[in-house]
Amino acid sequence: MRKSICFLVSVFFLGHILAQSGDKGISIIPEPVSLKTVAGVYKLPSNIVIDAKGNKEVDYTARLLAKQLALATGHKVSVNNSASASIRLLLNKTSNPIIGDEGYTLDVRPTHIIIKANKPAGLFYGVQTLLQLMPKEIEGKAAAKNVAWQLPLVSVTDYPRFQWRGLMFDVARHFFTKEQVKDFIDQMVKYKFNLLHMHLTDDEGWRIEIKSLPKLTSVGAWNVKRVGYFGTFAPPAADEPRDYGGFYTQDDIRELVQYAKERFVNILPEIDVPGHSLAAVASYPELSCTPGAENYKVRSGEEIMDWSHPGGPVALLDNTLCPANDKVYEFLDKVLTEVAQLFPFEYIHMGGDECPKNFWEKSDAIKVLMQKEGIKTMEGMQSYFEKKVEKIVESKGKKFMGWDEILEGGLAPNAVVMSWRGMKGGIEAAKMGHGVVMSPTNFAYLDYMQSDDMVEPHVYATLRLKTAYEFEPLPDGVDPKFIIGGQGNLWSEQLYNVRHMQYMLWPRGQALAECLWSPKDKKNWDWFAKKTEKNFERMDEGQVKYSRALFDQIFTAKKDAKDSLQILLSTEVNGLDIYYTFDNSQPDNFFPKYESPLSVPKEAVMLKVITYRNGKPIGRQIDMPINELRKRAGLKIYGIPKNE
Ligand code: ACM
């Protein structure tokens, strides 16, 4: 017996092979720092015991694991302090300097599993990795039948690259309930995100109860439901009921904060001012500089802004708070008193983005203030506002943070910048010694389309999975100590329900998770694409929606030297075949296979394309009008003969 234990132990320790997750079917997102495998499996017993000595937080992690194990396996699962437990969650007695506060070591041995960490958060992340080592049915909503509940033998050492690993959820444009936000948290922690940024206020809704300002939610949380293309809707008639929306009571917020805390997630509240404030102005019109604001209503998606001006947005009605009005600062003091008490996180995000200045230019009160303060520009006026707001935030014991527009006209002394218009603002702020969170549109905007406009719900821009995966939050030449981390932003103008929210979030959210957690040299697109596909099966078990756009073809339209259209087809993932037709037939793998750039046959009106892998269709068929490709190539559009 002794001999066999010695043999097992030596095989386990000497026989480890350093691996990318992937060996033995292992597929973990985000990729761990180090993963070693050894031959063999650990079989989960029919009576699973989880040992969770430590504290309340560890006990909570153990109970979450127990709940999921019991539900999906149907085995008996208990949490108690047993030295012979099947799964042991242990806080290190002597701190392991390699893994820091959020890292862990995980060993799956032939006889049991041990996760060790310096802090409870590390045990929680170790558990997330452990779950991904289990059969996909672990994500199921009921006990799965005929599953071999076993795990590969591994030894993992893992810790995050960035401290701030965030996702922003815009609950202002469309309201999502407390339970839906909890579900969002449940999903994000699987990929080791630790920060939920809640965009709580905007033109379309004020979503947090402020007891001293009741109209913010009795008026400001409600508009008229419209579907179609947000931003183009007709203004609602005066008698249309304003019954679409909702808000979180303060009890709801406390419940969400606690729920998040138990899963090691901080919630960052955002109160977006001075722009994006129509819901506040409709509730309290005296906050506006503009006469007639008492007739303003919470926006229902009608056009209120002209975005065509290169100098910045021009408002068609004044959706801003007035920086020259003392009542605005009294208002913000009241709001921030309550917000600061509700959210334990050290930062409050005060927005600052896309503030139109054309109504400010007309305000006498602003002219007087600018003269008195020697302010020369409207950007200087916003900077004056931001500095005052920073003081209010700090008076509540919190740190002030805003979108990168807060740099314009001079950054408030202690501000932390969230860089969204590319990385430029973040680089500038970091060079000035300010903390920065990178969330650039070109890598991290999860509301953008994931594939071609022809098959995606229309949004004004595209962000493919592969591009999201290229996100590098730490620019060259910047002191890493100022780049706190990064986050993906999920704006909700076009999100009406949870299923579509999930469709937009995944798998791009998983790509960002790997950019934020895994070492840079562990990133590998081909391997990530494979893991993503495997993870789809887990998400199917968990009934979570996602986009399969990574299998779609990409159209590139060019005009050649003779002003003819050239069409290039490609795919994000390797190993796909592309089949196409120009004669309106539905393409499959009996039609021509794409090999080189295509010219369009005379009078063809449609290019239909589909991707295959190993003889099976895998991407969506995309029917692309030739005129659309001509437009993209900058060529004249044909008149199309009528279809008889
Ligand atoms: C933003 O996307 N307006 C921050």
> Which tokens belong to 113?
């599993």
Q: What's the pLDDT score for residue 302? A: 95
pLDDT in tens, 402-452: 999 999 999 999 999 999 999 999 999 999 999 999 999 999 999 999 999
Residue of minimum CA distance from atom 2 in ligand 1: 420
Atom 3 in ligand 1: which residue has the minimum CA distance?
353
The DSSP annotation for 490-525 comes to E--TT--SHHHHHHHHTTHHHHHHHHHHS-GGG--H
Type of residue numbered 477? G
Q: Is 445 in the pocket of ligand 1 (CB under 6 A)?
A: no
**Distance from the alpha carbon of residue 353 to the mean position of ligand 1, in angstroms:** 6
User: Who contacts 510 (Cβ-Cβ below 8 Å, separation ≥6)?
Assistant: 29, 30, 191, 532, 535
Find the DSSP H helices in 84-190: 120-133, 178-189
Kindly state if the Cβ of 107 falls inside 6 Å of ligand 1.
Answer: no
pLDDT at position 20: 58
pLDDT in the model for residue 295: 96
The token pair at 263 is 């899963």
- Distance between Cα 552 and ligand 1 center (Å): 28
| pLDDT for the residue 638 | 83
Alpha helices in 411-507 (DSSP H): 424-431, 441-444, 465-469, 498-505
DSSP 297-354: ----SB--EETT-TTS-EESS--S--TT-HHHHHHHHHHHHHHHHH--SSEEEEE--S
Q: In ligand 1, which atom is closest to the CA atom of 420?
A: 4
Contacts of 145 (CB under 8 A, 6+ apart): none
Q: Domains (ranges, CATH) in the chain?
A: 38-158 (3.30.379.10), 164-299+309-445+463-488 (3.20.20.80), 552-632 (2.60.40)
**What is the C-alpha separation between 516 and 229, in angstroms, rounded?**
33
- Collapse the DSSP code of 413 into the 3-class scheme (helix H, G, I; strand E, B; otherwise coil) and give the result: coil
Question: How far apart are the C-alpha atoms of 341 and 526, rounded to whole Å?
Answer: 46
Low-confidence stretches of the chain (pLDDT < 70) are: 1-24, 641-644
User: CA 411 to CA 400: how far, in whole Å?
Assistant: 11
Rounded to whole angstroms, how far apart are CA atoms 623 and 581? Answer: 10
- Distances in whole angstroms, Cα of residue 187 to Cα of each of 167, 390, 487, 550: 11, 33, 15, 20
Q: CA-to-CA distance for 55 and 330, rounded, in angstroms?
A: 42
CA angle 402, 407, 413 (to 5 degrees): 80
**pTM, two decimal places:** 0.95
Ligand 1 near 353 CB (within 6 A)? yes
Cβ(404) – ligand 1 distance below 6 Å? no
Burial class (CB in 10 A: 0-12, 13-18, 19+), 226: middle
CA of 276 from ligand 1 middle (Å) equals 10
- Residue identified by tokens 């600061």 is 340
β strands within 9-127, DSSP E: 17-19, 21-24, 34-43, 47-51, 76-79, 87-91, 104-108, 113-117
Give φ, ψ of 639 to 5 degrees: -75, 130
Q: How far apart (Å, rounded) are the C-alpha atoms in residues 426 and 83?
A: 49
The residue type of 35 is: L
Name residue 208's beta-bridge partners. Answer: 248
CA end-to-end span of the chain: 84
Tell me: the pLDDT tens digits for 589-619? Answer: 999 999 999 999 999 999 999 999 999 999 9
**Residue 252, token pair as written in the block:** 């709801």
Residues with catalytic roles = 202, 276, 354
In ligand 1, which atom is closest to the CA atom of 351?
A: 4
User: Closest by alpha carbon to 389, among 433, 336, 430, 324?
Assistant: 336
**Predicted pLDDT of residue 332:** 98
Q: Shortest CA distance to 464 belongs to which of 566, 553, 395?
A: 553
- Indicate if the alpha-carbon torsion angle 54, 60, 61, 65 is positive or negative: positive
Q: Taking Cα atoms as reference points, which of 191, 110, 212, 190 lies closest to residue 155?
A: 110
Interval between CA 197 and ligand 1 midpoint (Å) = 13
> How do residues 296-324 score in pLDDT, each as one tens digit?
999 999 999 999 998 889 999 999 999 99
